[in-house]
Every structure is written in structure tokens, then in C-alpha cells.
Structure 1
Amino acid sequence: MPTEPDAAAAGPAIHPAPLPYQARLSQRDPASIDLVVIHCTELPDLAMAREYGERVLYPESGTGNSGHFYIDRDGTIHQYVDLDRIAHHVRGVNQRSIGIELVNSGRYPDWLDSRHQSMDEAYPPAQIAALIALLDWLAGSMPSLRWIAGHEDLDTELAVASDDPGRRVPRKRDPGPRFPWADVLAATSLERLPG
């Protein structure tokens, strides 16, 4: 079973950086993938995102939470998980989806503080250009790929605010209000997953 899209299809430069537990992640048929989920790391840099990705959160399987691809602010693309493996990046749709994480501070470090819910960091042009190139390559190489969604579209659960137990805030807000959906959708053949 191939682990990546057709190597003959020209694509962006991707730096393989498999997570230590990648072989413990469940396998899947890449033909079953029909969705890309866009995330932002909500962390200050790629190094911290890698640290979080390597954390074992599920002792029974020895795995943790991670996307498949990480795109740094300068447009560098890193692949942490092969596409024939199920990464834990969004509740309920991991089996059918590819997780793409954009390095962006989001609400860091006060993710659930009701006073710090704005996501003010813009996505640099180089990062968005790399995302579009990756999406184009994936869509051209994987005939089953049709949909794109933001993490916030799929995980709409509210969580108790860390500063006030009487308030609720969105558990996930990424990629957030600064993500240029119109530009990305205009540049890709993927369609926004209906809500």
C-alpha cells in the first residue's frame, strides 16, 4: 500500500520528520481519505509544536496528538505522520482526514481564558502559498480528496473558561478569523465541507 500520493506528481518540498510513535498509529487505506482539516498550532514556534506532537497522551497505544503536515511561518513543510496512518488531530473524523497544522500562536498561552480569545497573528504569505501548493499536490494525487474544513468547523464543543468556571469558551478556534479562507478556496479544487 502506498504511504504517500503518487511520487510522479510534482509537489512542494516536504521534509520528512516522522514522530517516534508513528508505527503505532493505526493504518488506513489512503483511498479512504476525502477531507483535509486546517489547524493552527496555537503555539509560538515549530519546536514547541514538535514537542507537543511527541507527547504520549494515550498510554494504551503509546501515541499522542499530531497533524500529518506542519507548515512553518516561512513556508517550510514538515511531515510528521505518513498518510497511510491515522493521526489524532480532530475528534470524530481522523479516519477520513489529513491534518495540516500552520504554525501560529493563536490564543497561546491562555487557550481557555475568556479574556484572551482573540487570535491576532496573521498568516504570512509564504505560509499560505505553501499550504496552497500542498493542497494542490494532495488533491491532484489523491482522487478521493474532495473536502476541506477548519478545526473549529468540526469541534464546536465549549469548555469551562480557565479564568471563570461560570463561563464557557470554544475548545477549538483554529485556524481562526485571520485565516484567509477566500484565497485558499479560490486556489484549490477542494470544497468547504458543508456545516
Structure 2
Amino acid sequence: MSPDLPPAPPINEWPLPYEQRLEARPLPRIDLVVIHCTELPDLAMAREYGERVHYGDGTGNSGHYYIDRDGSVHLFVGPERVAHHVRGYNPRSIGIELINAGRYPHWLDSRHQDMVEPYTEAQIQALVALLHELRREIPSLEFIAGHEDLDREEVPASDDPTRTVRRKRDPGPRFPWSRLLQEVPLTRIRP
């Protein structure tokens, strides 16, 4: 490890009950990291949402890694499995969820689209360390994107169906993209 790189963060392995049902994949197939925010109040609720089954094969929607406000890193799905976290990019990507309220609980209400909670310094430091560790473990990892970059669908607002709102806005305007891209050698994509 280079002396300039942060040490690997401690990772709390907390596999989802259905992790082994998710499709296996070779690590060299992964070239993209997608940054999300949970848009939920805390890690406990993020875990509850992650455990929910939505598909006939007994799996649900979840990122791979979750970073809490205190900087602790939790692994819900191993990178060697395809998690359901972003439409169209799951087979090639790793999803990292940052605990952040986002628009909770009015996700699609046109009057509540501001995402005002800042990310903590501990979260960003843990994210940088995790990204460096993932690059060491997965040399094919080259790209990074926000969920909002890849899922640009607009849907009817829950308060007024004549208006539309973005379905996904995470990680949102408070996420420090310039800092992250200076500290981690990944290329941001916005298809």
C-alpha cells in the first residue's frame, strides 16, 4: 500500500438473508461504483428496507456497502454478487449507500425535493478509504457515478400528479464530488 493512501476501513460484514440467492459474478466484470444515499433516517431502517423481498427469486433492493454517519462501513452484499441498486447497471457495478435522510419521508412530493442534510466528514473519509481498498481488490474498477446520473426517470409527483419529479436524486447536491474525484482516481460517468 502506498503511504499516501488511506488504510482500508474496518468492514462490518452483515450479509442480507438472501445474499446467496443473488447472481454470482467474477470481480473483473466490475468497472463501476455507484454512489447512493439511503434517503432514510438511519442504518436500522436502511437494513429493514434492504431485507424486504421484492422479486420472485426471494431477493430485494440493496447496495453492497453502507456507510453510516459515524463512518462505520457495513457490507450487506459481497462484491462477488450482483445487488439490485440501480437500473441497467447492476451486473457491472458496486453500490455504496451513504446514510442520509435525503427527501425522507416525502420522496416524490414536489414541495419536498430539497436534500439538505450534509454528509459527515467521517462518511466521506470512510468512502475515500473504501474506494481505495476496492481499487486494490478490483483492478478493473475505473468509473464512478451517482445514482442520479444513471437513473434520470421522472415520475408523477405524489402531491400533484400533473407535475413530475425525479425518481432518484441521490447522492444529491450536498455530495462533495470535486473532493472525491481529487482523492480517488476514478472517472465520473454521466450517460
Runs of 4 or more, structure 1, over 3 Å off, are: none
Q: Which amino acid aligns with 1:38?
A: I
* Residue correspondence of structure 1 range 23-62 to structure 2 within 5 A: 23-58=20-55, 60-62=56-58
Partner of 1:3: none
Residue identity over aligned pairs, in percent, reads 65
**CA-CA distance at 1:141 after TM superposition:** 2.0
Asked if 1:68 is matched to 2:58, the reply is no
**CA-CA distance at 1:194 after TM superposition:** 4.1
Q: Which amino acid aligns with 1:126?
A: A
Asked if 1:19 is matched to 2:19, the reply is no
1:65-107 per-residue CA deviation (whole Å, 9 max, x = no partner) reads 0000000000000000011100000000000000000000000
Asked if 1:173 is matched to 2:163, the reply is no
Q: Which amino acid aligns with 1:20?
A: P
* Residue correspondence of structure 1 range 94-133 to structure 2 within 5 A: 94-133=90-129
Q: Which runs of 5+ in 2 are unaligned?
A: 1-6
Partner of 1:163: 159
* Residues in 1 aligned to 2:177 and 2:79: alpha-carbon distance in whole angstroms: 24
* Residues in 1 aligned to 2:109 and 2:136: alpha-carbon distance in whole angstroms: 41
**8 Å CA contact 2:100, 2:119 repeated in 1:** yes
Q: Which SS does the other structure have where 1:101 is aligned?
A: strand
* Residues in 2 aligned to 1:194 and 1:153: alpha-carbon distance in whole angstroms: 5
* Aligned length, in residue pairs: 185
* Residues in 2 aligned to 1:190 and 1:119: alpha-carbon distance in whole angstroms: 25
* Residues in 2 aligned to 1:26 and 1:98: alpha-carbon distance in whole angstroms: 13
1:127-160 per-residue CA deviation (whole Å, 9 max, x = no partner) reads 0000000001111221100000000000000011
Pair 169,21 (structure 1): closer, same or farther in 2 beyond 3 Å: same
Asked if 1:185 is matched to 2:181, the reply is yes
1:42-76 per-residue CA deviation (whole Å, 9 max, x = no partner) reads 00000000000000011x11000000000000000
State the TM-score, normalized to the length of structure 1.
Answer: 0.94
